[in-house]
Structure 1
Amino acid sequence: MTVSALSLLDALAERALVVDGGLGTRLEERGADVSSELWSARVLADSPEEVLDVHRDYFAAGADVAITASYQVTYEGCARAGFDADATTGLLRRSVELARRARDEAGHGWVAASVGPYGAMLADGSEYRGDLGLDVEELRDWHRQRIDVLAGAGADLIAFETMPSLVEVEAILAELAGTGTHAWISVTPLAGRLRSGEPLAEALALAAAVDEVVAVGVNCCAPGEVLGAIEAAREVTTKPIIVYPNSGETWDAAARRWSGRAAFPTEAVRSWRAAGAGLIGGCCRTGPGQIAAIDRALT
């Protein structure tokens, strides 16, 4: 195991770690335009200092782990927006460099290089459905180049986020197994199952069985999904569990906006920790205020 991944596991043996909050959410709060299909990747390309400042905000709020702005940086999606392959590779590396810079300034923490699902690239809400129609080999081919670049970009591990289906989890694991590249695998559940309707516990068990996977869990879900997901993970693995849900609002893919009421239950953080979560943070519609509250709850 790499020194950086080992140090993270050593820290988890002592205490829970705080993961940062929504990067796109914070960029938007700061006045950045994240309305394009590239979402935060457009800001990464045009205004990298804004991304750096968001990482700084989260470390200042108490985050131990920064997730990079590479979630929406895909070769296919960026090509539609006019970026060639070399420029896309540059964006992936830049995302890690910025998070590392903020981490080094803060003097502590780890950097997780974000890899979003195939559906996110489509920018039509497919990551919340999981009905892609692609098989394992097709998804492996699509993910491979981005994984290879991020594995060599200097992050401490890769964060595979918002995975909606067993077939995509299987594809990611097939690419990881035997490489020595460490990662966490985080799926997005709805009503206790994957967005594809498949069993949540099956995906977590598959992920936990791969040596390169150092933690499993859920993200980009309603806060009410978290306890059930922790229980499902605990039934299949002793590896660390990561949870970083949304604020409780719902994404409207057609209108490209969030609806509903934000009610991130920071009072539930202790119950998530007591149930077995080791890494806790926030996803969409959470910001430094929620991360600071998580930090306070855990300490």
Structure 2
Amino acid sequence: MRSVVLLDGGLGQEIYRRAPDVSSPLWSVAVMREQPGLVTAVHADFIRAGAKTLTLNTYAATPTRLSKQGLLEEMPAIHQRAFQVLEEAIEAIGTEVDIAGCLPPLTASYQGQPERSFEDLRDEYATLVRLQAAADVFLIETMTNTLEARAACSAASDLGKPYGVAFRLEADGKLKSGETLAEAVAAITPFAPTAVMLNCCDPEMMSVTMPALVDLYPCVGGYANAFKSVESMARGGSVDALEARADISPAAYLAHVQQWLVDGATVIGGCCEITPAHIKQIADVLESEFELIRFSQLGQE
């Protein structure tokens, strides 16, 4: 039976959906500081749905972002809390899953190439790796340029744990930096990540691009979002302005996932607006055809 990694869904958006009264540039982290039990509940729902690898709620907790909000001194405590709320969910459900450390864009999502050096970026990612060193695996997510992606790969490699890299594509099929997917994959291939993926673009884009990605790297995958548009956030707006697509039901999303698997994907899951119901639909339908595994089990089957 073919093995497939099943990640969780859009953690930050699911947290935001359940706490719409909290508005902050740090969105999901702000909720975790004020209502940690809510974040535990979201993690637990994704575990119950069948996810085998759960990402820490640290996407917005980079040194750069926290510094802007005057919260840099709280960074260790925020990361510690992220582990705590996820571990409480795992203990409550009693299922063995991977904890994935999160290495996101350092300043904001959907931006182009940062005006920073590789060494500067690597140092900041190294801080995040150190704070999340207890994670089983790492996911480098929503990469829009190869400079940040390479810096994150370099830092993640220090621990010798499995990690994946996921690129975000624009409507033209390229990264925000203007680099092609082939150029992006070539840039991080020397670091030998466990998997290379696409994330946080729409399912249709991912379905069109997956065959090309399969040809570029041995182990690939994807987890799409269900936003109508991210342009307002790309221009510096907040998560409050984002709208979900009504047409991406669990069944509709499953159809895309099944096509990715046919094309050769090995890692699947969901990004923003992909809910526990979406992940449950995937798990329920696929479990008879595939062995659903944790990210750390890649290459061990």
Establish whether TM, by shorter chain, passes 0.5: yes
The 2-side partners of 1:44 and 1:16 are apart by 30
Cα distance per residue 1:108-131 (max 9 Å; x no partner): 2211111210232xxxxxx21314
Q: Determine which structure has greater relative contact order: mean sequence separation of CA pairs < 8 Å that are 6+ residues apart, divided by chain length.
A: 2
SS in 1 for 2:271: coil
**What amino acid maps onto 1:197 in structure 2?**
G
1:215 aligns with 2:195: yes
Alignment correspondent of 1:73: 61
> 1:204 touches 1:217 (CA, 8 Å); kept in 2?
no
The 2-side partners of 1:183 and 1:291 are apart by 21
The 2-side partners of 1:292 and 1:279 are apart by 16
TM-aligned CA deviation for residue 255 of structure 1: 4.8
CA RMSD after TM alignment: 2.1
SS in 1 for 2:59: coil
Q: 1:33 to 1:14 in 2, by over 3 A?
A: farther
**How many residues of Structure 1 are paired with residues of Structure 2 in the alignment?**
276
Q: 1:182 to 1:15 in 2, by over 3 A?
A: closer
> 2:113 touches 2:147 (CA, 8 Å); kept in 1?
no
TM-aligned CA deviation for residue 51 of structure 1: 0.8
TM-aligned CA deviation for residue 77 of structure 1: 2.1
TM-aligned CA deviation for residue 260 of structure 1: 6.7
> What is the TM-score when the length of structure 2 is the normalising length?
0.84
1:132-143 matched pairs, under 5 angstroms = 132-143=114-125
SS in 1 for 2:58: coil
Match of 1:95 among 54, 75, 82: 82
Alignment correspondent of 1:129: 111
Q: 1:74 to 1:197 in 2, by over 3 A?
A: same
The 2-side partners of 1:259 and 1:30 are apart by 15
**What amino acid maps onto 1:30 in structure 2?**
R
TM-aligned CA deviation for residue 32 of structure 1: 4.6
**What amino acid maps onto 1:56 in structure 2?**
A
Q: 1:103 to 1:207 in 2, by over 3 A?
A: farther
> 1:219 touches 1:283 (CA, 8 Å); kept in 2?
yes
TM-aligned CA deviation for residue 136 of structure 1: 1.4
**What amino acid maps onto 1:98 in structure 2?**
V
**What amino acid maps onto 1:139 in structure 2?**
L
Alignment correspondent of 1:27: 15
TM-aligned CA deviation for residue 195 of structure 1: 1.6
> 2:64 touches 2:106 (CA, 8 Å); kept in 1?
no
Identity rate, percent: 29
Match of 1:263 among 229, 247, 259: 247
Alignment correspondent of 1:173: 153
Alignment correspondent of 2:164: 184
> What is the TM-score when the length of structure 1 is the normalising length?
0.84
Cα distance per residue 1:88-144 (max 9 Å; x no partner): 112112212322332343312211111210232xxxxxx213142223122112322
Where structure 1 has 5 or more consecutive residues not aligned to the other structure, the ranges are 1-12, 121-126
Where structure 2 has 5 or more consecutive residues not aligned to the other structure, the ranges are 288-301
SS in 2 for 1:281: strand
More displaced stretch, 221-230 vs 171-180: 171-180
SS in 2 for 1:195: coil
